[in-house]
Chains A and B, each alone.
Chain A
Amino acid sequence: MPLYLTDDQEMLRDTARGFMAGEGAIKTQLRHWRDKKCKDGFGHGLWKQFAALGFTGILIDEADGGLGLGHVEAGIVLEEIGRNLTPSPFLTTAVAFVEALKGTKLRERWYPGIIAGETVAALAVDEGPKHRPDAIEMRAERSGNGFSLSGRKQFVVQGASADVILVAAESDEGLTLFAVEKGAAGLEVEGVRLADSSIGARLTFENVVVDADAVVGEVGGGAAVLARALNAGRTGAAAELVGLGSAAMEMTVDYLRQRKQFGRLIGEFQALQFRAAHLYSELEIARAATMKAQQLLDEGSQEAEAMVSVAKAKAGRASQLAVQEGVQMHGGIGMTDEYDIGLYMKRDRVLSELFGDANYHADKLARMKGY
């Protein structure tokens, strides 16, 4: 596969680009829900529109009622989401959760609602302030015909509005993943507004009893399910970061072309030109790495996991550079709430942290390479 979009993929991008820039625009979505102090942080009407366009079923097989497309296509939608900071449960629901359920019986239970844009899903993995999926302490004890879950989770994006939460817990048989339904007895959900005005959640599980049917995949086989969900989520987050960084760079470069000081356009100054060109280079490399990871995942390649870490780390760093340079080069107005560049900075911070930051993924890559 060449590392550029096919004609069909370009058509999908045009559709996604028009939709996010229109319906999903900052003013009508992010600012609107933020200023209303919406407890979900996104609009369910927009999620329905995602469904009408088929986006919700993008990774679901055609036999299950979806579009049967791959990570490249999911990434196309996410890049446009990133460009417009469009708040939606797409990444957690239609990408990570859908991927976790692939090949399991739970598809039948959850896919139809997701395809219809009615169901929201979240991932409960992190237990401390940093992403450490290899050190999960939450317990799943055998109880009756199922399990009893106890422990704490945090940074559960969309956790406050989720109909179903994918929960990682240690059982006697090893790591096991559960699809826990909203309102389960003993589950306490505290919605938490984050810096970018999205809503994460802290969850407390106190002997939450779930049926054996809630196990995703095999008991003790959670590592494979979690890897599937996280690879999809990380690659998706990388794509969203690339879109976010690109939009921040374009806004900034536009500003350099218009703003005059000392009687000249500030874009004429070499000090700023070099930094803008360096930023462009970093974002191009991040985009290539992300697309490579998407293609390897779609091919089922053994090299995919290493490239996913490369993509998440590189996209995180490139996007971070884009928002930092963006605010700095905008000068004073970059610090105002009225101007959008600061919103990009806030969103970047959240996405960079989600599913592991650049340090986490550089370390993970090093371990995979044996050092």
Chain B
Amino acid sequence: MKLITIDPITRLEGHGKIDIFLNDAGEVENTYFQIPELRGFEQFCVGRPVEELPRITTRICGVCPEAHHMASAKACDAVFHVDPPPTAKKLRQLLYNVFYAGDHTTHFYALGGPDFIVGPSAPAAERNILGVVRKVGLEVGGKVIEMRRRTQEVLKILGGKQTHQVTSLPGGVSKGITPEEAKQIEAHCLWFVEFGKFTIQAFHNIVLSNKEYVDLILSDAFSHKTYYMGLVDEKNRINFYDGKVRVVDPEGKEFAKYSPAEYLDNVAEHSEAWTYLKFPFLKKVGWKGLVDGKESGVYRATPLSRLNAADGMPTPLAQAEYDEMFKTLGGKPVHATLATHWARVIELLGATEMALDLVRDPEITGTHIRNIPDKVPTEGVGIVEAPRGTLTHHYTTDEKGIVTKVNLIVGTTNNYAPISMSINKAARGLIKRGTAVSEGTLNMIEMAFRAYDPCFGCATHALPGQRPFVLRIRSKDGEILEEIRRT
């Protein structure tokens, strides 16, 4: 038996490590995707005043603090049994959609994009954002940086800080926007919509017009038949901020639709001793291990999952592209993991349209932005769609609103089982007996988890440089048998 260890996996949300065991015939025996850390937020939030949690749980993730801020704020509303005024809800949703557009942008151009734009087996040194810029031109690189700058500017106006927002309180928000600020944000949103349209066109030109890429997307090594989860509005259309969680089965039929407060009837978590992260699964199906299919409770919560789980998009341009995707890929649901990239740019466009609609809503500059809670706080669940999956915050408090219990099921965590399965299947499909493990092969294995948006890769978007990678194949007693290095 040989062990291949990749440590640390870079460009991942949180620290990560992959172990690939090869048997004596040189075939993949098994793979383990380990998460080596735990910070313990659920326990140290106990004892805190519940209204502080939207400002504490942002620190779970500095890449998507907006998602934790919103899930936490909604859980606080529920704890206090208070409904924010319409203006407050719209301000939160405006912030959230602008965040979505910015977040999906960085993933598409800097993380997932290079594999397609530059090519999956292009030289590693080219397969990064600089390679993207070289391929598509400096103007596009500048646009991506401008998109990020503009979204961060809007987030600072609405959230008080561009990272770790502070403005949501139980019952509403701490500050509204002036008509001048609304005008300023509207100008940004108009720019965002154009950027969204441009990105869809870029995806068509670069990925979909290339048969090799379409074949790769549809190949079996990158496919799993699982359940899909996503938040939907009353018409079963995608909503990132509010609604019910809908789950469809591997055939695309509605399996469950639940309100945030009912999440414990629907989702449970399995633990393994070899990793700090738990594996969520559908409780009514059960944990059958790291396997797909209708009998396994493994589900996915990604942009593609949300499109599979919904009946459509709430805005016209995104809806047109939604129809196009399912038509092209052979109808719903789509199981091809790499199609998540297409779903992501559709969501990007949808988020820009929703943001524009919201900032043009006359109520957005309203001055009634908070309802002061007057009921005894008890317990509440808040759910939003984080870009990386359905995000659940569940709080219980004493009668003074001091937290007694916190349970969190976090975006990327939903996908821990499917990411592990995708790595395993790609490794089995790509590492063959008697064939050397090439650098290109390693990148293809990485593509399996990159589709899920390991979020720290966002960071690469403006950084020139190589992406060297060292992989050592060791014997059981640690002796290096083979070393593969890409520099």
Decide whether A and B are members of one complex. no
Name A's B-contacting residues (CB within 8 A).
none
